[in-house]
Amino acid sequence: MEVDCRKLALFNVDGNVYALDDLCTHGHARLSEGEFEGHEVECPLHAGVFDVRTGRAVCAPLTRDARCHAVKVERGDVFIATGIAAEPRP
């Protein structure tokens, strides 16, 4: 999905929606095309793993966290503030 000219990847973890920049911080790969399980997404290119709740880079080859955006869900509508970093929830 694209918001304010940013490509984002949305993830649902136990009913909570999280939004990360879709582009991996390691290379040119889309996290929305990665393997998603639990609260982690694996990059499809080199298998780096991000915690989608925070954007934290969990393992090599990643050295930089993904940008995590604030998300609010109201009556089924998802609102994303791309200029505001999400507060850590987990």
In whole angstroms, what separates CA 82 from the centre of its chain?
12
Structure tokens given for 31: 């996290």
What would you measure as the largest C-alpha separation in the chain, in angstroms? Answer: 39
For ligand FES, the closer of residues 22 and 86 by Cβ is 22
For ligand FES, the closer of residues 22 and 53 by Cβ is 22
> CA 40 to CA 42: how far, in whole Å?
7
- Amino acid letter for position 80: I
Show the site string, 49-88: x = touches ligand FES by CB under 6 A, - = not.
------------xx--------------------------
Tell me, by CB under 6 A, how many residues bind ligand FES: 10
CB atoms within 10 A of CB 8: 21
Residue 68 bridge partners (DSSP): 20
Please, what is the minimum distance in Å from the beta carbon of residue 87 to ligand FES? 25
Q: Is 48 in the site for ligand FES (CB under 6 A)?
A: yes
The residues of the shown chain that bind ligand FES, judged by CB under 6 A, are: 24, 26-27, 29, 43, 45-46, 48, 61-62
